[in-house]
């Protein structure tokens, strides 16, 4: 067990499986003693009002309410609460849908409890940083027809604002600042972690997929954010097919 002062964050675990719920509580309560566990989403609204949690550990295998509906409510009514979805995905669309609907990360179970703890800590740090005033003057970044303003966290296409989640803004900024450069999955996860937004390589793939749906004319044939087989992804500012590109430093 990692020693140290207990962190003041309040956590709510929503998990229908009693064994999984108790196992997570037994491990995580040593680090977050202000923790509550519930077995369904029906009582989540009351629990949020009572606990005022910093983070919700939300199962993707809820039996009473679709996880997608819960995420929509959370992002609409409680945008400041971090949400980490856990569960065995039935396919890529589960991870993509959860991230698109506002989950801060998605972890496939079974998973080592220490990894979940690490992801929780990083998400909580990320939320704390977002609460700080954003320093202006970062400059706008251009990606084809798109203009990204990292300081204001806005994305526009031909002056029309596009609603984009913060994680996609951060990922898009990484690509825009490293044009014609291979960004490996490991590099992307490290870069995002440095910004307090820890994601798995699988989650990064899902985010890239969602990002392409927004910025590409044909997501099935991406030209701005291209896959470099066996190496990662690269941003082509003019949409030209990339051949020899320089790898980013790890």
pLDDT at 1: 38
pLDDT for 35-75, tens place per residue? 999 999 988 989 998 888 999 999 988 888 888 889 888 87
% of the chain at pLDDT higher than 90: 23
> What SS3 string covers the chain?
CCCCCCCCCCEEEECCCHHHHHHHHHHHCCCCCCEEEECCCCCHHHHHHHHCCCEEEEECCCCCCCHHHHHHHHHHHCCCCEEEEEECCCCHHHHHHHHHCCCCEEEECCCCHHHHHHHHHHHHHHHHHHCCCCCCCCCCEEECCEEEECCCCEEEECCEEECCCHHHHHHHHHHHCCECEEECHHHHHHHHHHCCCCCCHHHHHHHHHHHHHHHCCCCCCCCCEEEECCCEEEECCCCCCCCCCEECCC
Q: Does pLDDT of 149 surpass 80? A: yes
pLDDT at 48: 92
Pairing of strands 146-149, 154-157: antiparallel
Which among 237, 212, 218, 207 is positioned nearest to 141, based on CA atoms? 237
What is the rounded distance in angstroms from the CA atom of residue 26 to the CA atom of residue 7?
16
Asked whether 196 and 204 are in contact (CB, 8 A), the reply is no
Question: 229: burial class by Cβ within 10 Å (0-12, 13-18, 19+)?
Answer: exposed
Residue with the bigger pLDDT between 1 and 210: it is 210
Domains and CATH numbers, the chain: 11-130 (3.40.50.2300), 141-245 (1.10.10.10)
Q: Does pLDDT of 197 surpass 60? A: no
pLDDT for 166-184, tens place per residue? 888 888 888 888 888 888 8
């Amino acid at each position: 067990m990692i020693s140290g002062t207990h962190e003041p964050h309040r956590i709510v675990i929503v998990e229908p499986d009693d064994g999984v719920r108790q196992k997570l509580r037994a491990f995580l309560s040593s680090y977050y003693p202000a923790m509550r566990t519930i077995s369904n989403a029906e009582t989540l609204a009351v629990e949020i009002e009572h606990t005022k949690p910093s983070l919700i550990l939300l199962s993707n295998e809820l039996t009473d309410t679709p996880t997608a509906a819960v995420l929509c409510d959370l992002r609409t009514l409680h945008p400041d609460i971090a949400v980490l979805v856990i569960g065995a995905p039935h396919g890529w669309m589960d991870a993509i849908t959860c991230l698109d609907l506002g989950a801060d990360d998605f972890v496939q179970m079974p998973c080592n409890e220490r990894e979940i703890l690490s992801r929780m800590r990083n998400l909580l740090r990320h939320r704390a940083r977002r609460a700080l005033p954003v320093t202006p003057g970062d400059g706008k970044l251009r990606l084809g027809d798109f203009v990204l303003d990292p300081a204001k966290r806005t994305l526009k296409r031909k002056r029309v604002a596009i609603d984009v989640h913060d994680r996609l803004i951060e990922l898009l900024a990484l690509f825009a600042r490293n044009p014609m450069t291979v960004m490996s999955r490991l590099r992307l996860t490290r870069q995002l972690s440095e910004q307090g937004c820890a994601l798995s390589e699988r989650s990064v793939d899902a985010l890239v997929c969602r990002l392409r749906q927004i910025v590409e004319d044909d997501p099935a044939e991406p030209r701005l954010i291209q896959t470099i087989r066996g190496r990662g992804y690269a941003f082509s500012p003019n949409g030209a097919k990339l051949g020899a590109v320089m790898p980013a430093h790890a």
